[in-house]
Chain A
Amino acid sequence: MTKAYKYSIVYFLVFSLLLILSGVLLFEYKIGFSVEQISSYYLGDEDKFINPQTSSSILKIITPHIFAFGLFIMVLLHFLIFTKKRSSKTLKAVIYLTFLSAILELLSPFGIINNIEFFAYVKLLSFIIFELLVLFSSWLLFRSIVYE
């Protein structure tokens, strides 16, 4: 990898951190980091004047995210293939877990609006795991750029 490409990737990692920050802020402002807040955001809350979400409103939000998540994860993780971590079990686990947490994060709202409270936990947990895995992948990539 030439030095110039390494610059681009490091900047990409900084953008990724901003993306994570904006995702966390959005989650906090729009939904909230508790199971009760997640449930009331999707099921509605008369006291807080929150309208319940419908399948179509959820679909409208997740459709661009499905593509964006896939593209972002692919771009971020494929850089790790060019590092010494290429054949490691850790990388394989990170790849599967990142995609799995992303898909659970996107689809769990459908469970919530069908009154299955379990999916509120899934939403919260998958969001946190996804963000942590992106941070971990970014750290692995940054370390390999600096030290390899």
Chain B
Amino acid sequence: MRFTLIKDLKQDSMMKPILSGLLIFTLLYLISDIFVKSSSFGIFEEMIKTTLFGNEAEFLDPITTSAFLEFWHMEIFFIMMILLTLSAVFIRLSGAKGFNIIIVNAVMISALISLVALLLSFFLNAAFVQLYILSFFSWHVCAIYMSLYSLVRLYYD
């Protein structure tokens, strides 16, 4: 988090390409995460429900509890680390005022809701899958906006 201490990031010839790289990698991760989930776990209701609860008609077994918990555990770790890093860069570059502070809160809250909704949909009620989908896309959209906004601020402002 050394970048939080440098006075003018835009003029720093070392930190500028490093942060650009970080933001581009973050952006790539966010986009590829959507593609990977769409082909494995699912990003729409029907496929997610099939993954979680199986499908008797198609002889598909549901995910086991330990496999689900492993998936959930990894998701938490990745999301918390990505969002902490991204929000630190975003806050530093945007000045975190007005709309941008709302975005920071929105990305964090929607990511937390997506994780909790996923747990609840597996253990409590399948209806939470819809909340999971909504919050999953919300936090991805917010995080992509944060990455792009930070990149623009780094070069054009």
Contacts and interface: CB of A to CB of B under 8 A. Distances in A.
Interface residues of A, number: 23
Interface residues of B, number: 27
A26 B73 contact: yes
B38 interface: no
B115 interface: yes
If over half of A's interface residues share one DSSP class (helix, strand or loop), that class is named, otherwise mixed; here it is helix
B89 to A, nearest CB: 11
Contacts of B73: 19, 22-23, 26
Contacts of B109: 11
Given A8-B108, A15-B83, 15 more contacts: A4-B91, A4-B101, A4-B104, A7-B104, A7-B108, A8-B83, A11-B83, A12-B84, A19-B77, A22-B72, A22-B73, A26-B66, A29-B65, A29-B69, A30-B66
Interface of A: 2-5, 7-8, 11-12, 14-16, 18-19, 22-23, 25-26, 29-30, 68, 71-72, 75
9 contacts: A4-B101, A5-B88, A7-B101, A7-B105, A15-B79, A15-B111, A18-B112, A19-B80, A30-B66
